[in-house]
Amino acid sequence: MSVSTVELKVPSVGESVSDVEIAEWLKNEGDTVRQDENVLVLETDKATLEVPSPVSGRLLKALKKKGDRVQVGELLGEIEAGDFAAPAGQPAEDKKAAAKSAKKKSDAPGAPVLKKAAPPGAEPAAPVVDELAVAEAPAPALEPGPPEPSAPAAAPAESGRAEEIVPMSLLRRKIAERLVAAQHTAALLTTFNEIDMAAVLALRKENQERFHERYQIKLGFMSFFIKATVEALKGVPQLNAEIRGSTIVYRNYHDVAIAIGGGRGLVVPVLRDAGRMSFAELEQGIADFAQRVKDNKIKPDELQGGTFTITNGGIYGSLLSTPLVNPPQSGVLGMHAIQERPVAVAGQVVIRPMMYVALTYDHRLVDGREAVQFLKRVKELIESPARMLLEI
């Protein structure tokens, strides 16, 4: 069998990213890999990405360990290319599982064991040796002696005061840096309003089945809020702008970022030209982002360039919060849980499904009047969703 060694290096992960961290090795040294099968996971300050094997073979060396910081182009490991197929009838990835299964069977009650009989003439009290158990069991621990006077006794685990120290990931550090920077560099202020969600709930209920049959996806709330947000941003362009030095950059497009919680932290992928997308396209884009965030497959460039952000704390049960602006953006809209509350309508107290919404904005660029106008416009459109379809 002819084999060769192929180097596994840190790939390019974007123009502004040079420093990454080893998040996890998916393969151990000696494991077989197929071409394009993922070998390890890298984490940048924006996202995580998986590194596939360029060839089929086996992982010969892993030169870096979990938590190591590496540079783009740096050598991560070596793969021995070639055909290292498992024996017929047993895939390579099943070898370890089969070995573990065999061990469990040997340890099960009633399983046959190999025993060495005592030699002739030995004392009757001599123990019978279980060779299989001796081969697999760890060496017996020595009897503990009295504790050293100078050594402090460790706190028992039952005390409930154990601590675990783990390094902060690049993504978590970046989130922390950006949130602190937002508070230090921008003049942040939050204003609130509440929205009667009855009309949207009724519209969703009436059209959900047909929408799902046609587009194979459910009609959610986020697409309504994106549509309403884009329309509101047209009336308050300061919230779709950013400050660059001593200038203001106004954008005539709307790249709406959607905050999505993942296992490694909050990420904010961007729906490009969201104002031009249909309800179905918005829902499909959101679902695709959510799945790829869960699978750690979001690309770094999908997290860059948003002009405005929407975050939905309501999916976690939040009733009210003050979201933080994602610099260099000038605003973020916070959605919250829908809660039935008594409200006054036409002089009568009625129960309505209400949602609090919050707009945090950079007061250097946006005045309070514009912020209130923005939320009022979002409220009008959500409470009368047909207006979004008619663009009135």
Q: For residues 283 and 306, what is the distance between their CA atoms, to the nearest angstrom?
A: 18
Distance CA 27, CA 11 (A): 18
Q: Which of 19, 83, 107, 367 is catalytic?
A: 367
301 is annotated as an active-site residue: no
Q: Which residues pair with 361 in a beta bridge?
A: 189, 331
- Find the Cα–Cα–Cα–Cα dihedral 224, 229, 230, 235, rounded to 10°: 140
- Catalytic-labelled residue, pool 130, 288, 301, 363: 363
Whether 184 is catalytic: no
User: Active-site positions?
Assistant: 363, 367
